[in-house]
Structure 1
Amino acid sequence: MARTIPIFTAKPAANPASLEFRVSPPLALYVHVPWCVQKCPYCDFNSHEAGETIPEREYVAALIADLQSALPLIWGRPVVSVFFGGGTPSLLSPEAIDELIAAFRALAMLAPDAEITLEANPGTIEAEKFAGFRRAGVNRLSLGIQSFNDEHLKALGRIHGAAEAKRAAHLAGAHFDAFNLDLMYGLPGQTQEQALSDLETALSFSPAHLSCYQLTLEPNTRFAAFPPELPEGDLCADMQEAIEARLAAAGYANYETSAFARPDRQCRHNLNYWYFGDYLGIGAGAHSKLTLHDRVLRQMRWKHPKAYLDNIRGGQPVQEENQVAAASLPFEFLMNALRLTEGFHPSLFEARTAQPLSAILPQLKAAEAEGLLALGPERIAPTEKGRRFLNVLLERFLADE
């Protein structure tokens, strides 16, 4: 089972005097909405309790100004997908989402068939907006269910109950052909039977996509400070195996570590991340990864909503910006691409890193010898063992500090 990646220093794969990227990767747009009704105790995302209202009009204007300021970095590049994440993007009105999508089409080269995903809360007020979001141009919904069990939802600090979760899943299917349900397992006091019961309830709504995550205690969260009693590791591993087997029997492919989809229904936006594509992030705390002709640039917007809005008014949305070192690109590529069950075509490594695959061939061969990696002329992919021990596999491309 995949574990948290420890901090290491990348083992230099190459030290070219300069990089030259001949082809730009696909480009996605990520839009961060930082407010939630209530901060969940397990959440380490950049989210802030909304209070009675959020400054919707000011924030929409700020997002559009943010995109305008970034246009010189993405001129001429089509945007293949948009993802509204958070926080809780469904706190925005359908009218706000409509205005934003219209601005994206006017300002950026948003592809006519772009996948446009919005994360939504199952709460009653948000669920009432689903039809409006669909009319606005959202064509994929991602619903944060987590569990259909009232006891477990309460333990997670979720503001919705099982009945609301079921109603929201039904509405998602009524308004969206493509929708995802997020589930968590390894919850406080949860048994394997209860985890599978959640899964069966989710399957009853026939989602095109499911995300199944094990609950982990992330630093700087309430659960990290006051940890609940979780099922022991072997039981969580059994839950994972049972979930994977049931979803395989139901026709869902486990195409990425925690993602399952019916044939041809994978999340295109997330696939772009795993293939080390580019993404422009706008909104409070959003991150960007942009490939220029001679370097890879990373950016982070101001994290706190007030600081973000203040700095947008000053024309400075970016808080941090740095260039990814050439020696770090191979590991960053592999850290993403090896999450995919099917792995990647060998030619993609050079396209995304501007370095030859031969630079990491010794490490690849060593991982193959350990049964962690399958190497072929058309595909490099983690084996079943490599997927179970993904961090062990990734460590082969790192050096201890």
Structure 2
Amino acid sequence: MMTTSYTDIQRLFEQRKNNPLFNTSYPLSPGDWAKYSTSGTLSFDASKPIAFYLHIPFCRQICSFCEYTKMCVPDTEKQRNYIATLIRDIERFVEKYPEWKFYGFDIGGGTPTALDPEVFSELMIWYKHFIGERMVTDRFEPSIEGTFDSMASDYQGYHKSRLIAKARIKRLSLGVQSTSDKVLNPLHRNTISSKEMAEAIEEWHRLGISKINLDLMYGLPGQTVENIRKDIEVIRMLNPEQVTVYEFRTNQLNAPYKTDNDTCFTQYCELYEGLIRLEYYGEFGRNTFSRDAHDMGLSSYLRHRMFDGWQYKGFGISAQSMSEYGVSYNMGKNESTGKLIDNHSYESIAYYDLPSNELLNKFIAISGYSGGFSLSGAKSLFGEDFATRYNHILHFLIDEKLATISGDRLQLTKTGFRHYGAILSLFYSLGTV
């Protein structure tokens, strides 16, 4: 049974506010959803738009801070087989819904641009043909992930960027994480000079890739406020259209390094204040910043997933899908990627038929990257009585000045963001966590 008293809520918040377990991950443990596991496949509402996410798990080198499913780039034949299998899974899926309208299409990883040039070319040609035959929403904005070292170091990089531009993908998201050798090298990642980055961005813009997003991280081992200030200076010089900042999570798989809330909060504040000085738009607590006040610094897939809770379908090893009926995970979530890439399908092996409160919890965790969540999105998943059922929590957050409510939006205050994980978790099953 859910506890409801003000004292209970206050006690839980105090217990959790320094516990790194509570962040933007949900469920907290895979076993938490065991009772919802069911046979069959996840259903979707064909009357509503959908987004596709394609997971390419290959990287040129494996960064020790990365928690995603990945492996070193295999030989060309295995790459080609992986892409062919992924495409077969997509084509089998869309046969069921030939009239579907797309609100987003993201290709991530891993590092999609780490594919060999000929395999990457095949993927881009397929994507252009596939999406060219589909209906899309007015604000459809696809995106692809990459790294500077897989694109900008030689002619092959420019070849890949031309393919991206010809496929009409206008947003390219690149992981920088830090500009400090001392921070990145011990984590098995190389830096690239700001001059090389500037030259690459100029070339991509010339080709028609109009939105460059750069990812930065904070809370990394050895990272300091001074490192953050140098990162901001590089952003000032490069002037990308978008910047995304990610917290190094201390409960990531096999992560021996532990940080703390104070360190992460201080470094986030430095990033936020620096980006605002550079005239990027973004509310405090959000991890995305943009030169354009209207696009929120996100692809359309991420924008509607994070802010509205719209349905999406993932393809490839370990990809996740979500609809109003539940959540599913493709094979590979907790398995060796190398053993699976020769499979004839990577489709779902774990489907959870979730009740409304669990769908709400998942949505709130995802929305946590925005520093709050949409009240209408919560109602659409939980039901019209959301505000009544969670009224005691909402009042606690307002009374303690941990969050504000303005129109459709619950947003954490600066005080609240310091312990965002503890606040998000208050909406979970309070009596059982």
Same fold (TM over 0.5): yes
The total of aligned residue pairs comes to 379
Aligned to 2:123: 97
Q: Is the 8 A contact 1:83 1:117 kept in 2?
A: yes
CA distances 1:33-53 after superposition (whole Å, capped 9, x unpaired): 011111111111100111454
1:2-401 pair list within 5 angstroms:
3-5=20-22, 7=28, 26-53=49-76, 55-71=78-94, 74=97, 76-92=99-115, 93=117, 94-105=120-131, 108-111=134-137, 114-123=140-149, 124-125=153-154, 127-128=157-158, 129-162=160-193, 164-175=196-207, 176-221=209-254, 224-225=255-256, 227=257, 234-255=262-283, 257-262=286-291, 263-265=293-295, 266-267=297-298, 268-274=300-306, 275-291=308-324, 295-303=325-333, 304=337, 306-312=339-345, 317-341=347-371, 343-344=373-374, 346-357=375-386, 358-398=388-428, 399=430, 400-401=432-433
Q: What's the Cα RMSD here?
A: 3.1
Q: 1:201 to 1:160 in 2, by over 3 A?
A: closer
Amino acid at match of 1:98: M
Structure 1 residue 102, shift from structure 2 partner? 3.0
Structure 1 residue 110, shift from structure 2 partner? 4.1
- Give SS of 1:145's match: strand
- Give SS of 1:220's match: coil
- Give SS of 1:254's match: coil
C-alpha distance in 2, partners of 1:298/1:355? 25
C-alpha distance in 2, partners of 1:26/1:65? 21
C-alpha distance in 2, partners of 1:234/1:204? 29
Structure 1 segments unaligned to the other structure (5+ residues): 11-20
Amino acid at match of 2:266: D
Q: Is the 8 A contact 2:356 2:381 kept in 1?
A: no
CA distances 1:309-366 after superposition (whole Å, capped 9, x unpaired): 4242xxx72222221223312322322335435742x333222334532232232222
Amino acid at match of 2:122: A
Moved more, 357-366 or 26-35: 357-366
- Give SS of 2:107's match: strand
C-alpha distance in 2, partners of 1:369/1:41? 41
CA distances 1:208-248 after superposition (whole Å, capped 9, x unpaired): 11012233344433xx24x4xx8876454332212211111
Structure 1 residue 75, shift from structure 2 partner? 5.1
C-alpha distance in 2, partners of 1:72/1:380? 39
Calculate the TM-score normalised by the size of structure 2.
Answer: 0.77
Q: Is the 8 A contact 1:34 1:305 kept in 2?
A: no
**What percentage of aligned pairs have identical amino acids?**
23
C-alpha distance in 2, partners of 1:231/1:335? 21
Q: 1:89 to 1:220 in 2, by over 3 A?
A: same
- Give SS of 1:380's match: strand
C-alpha distance in 1, partners of 2:227/2:332? 40
Aligned to 1:17: none
Q: Is the 8 A contact 1:28 1:272 kept in 2?
A: no
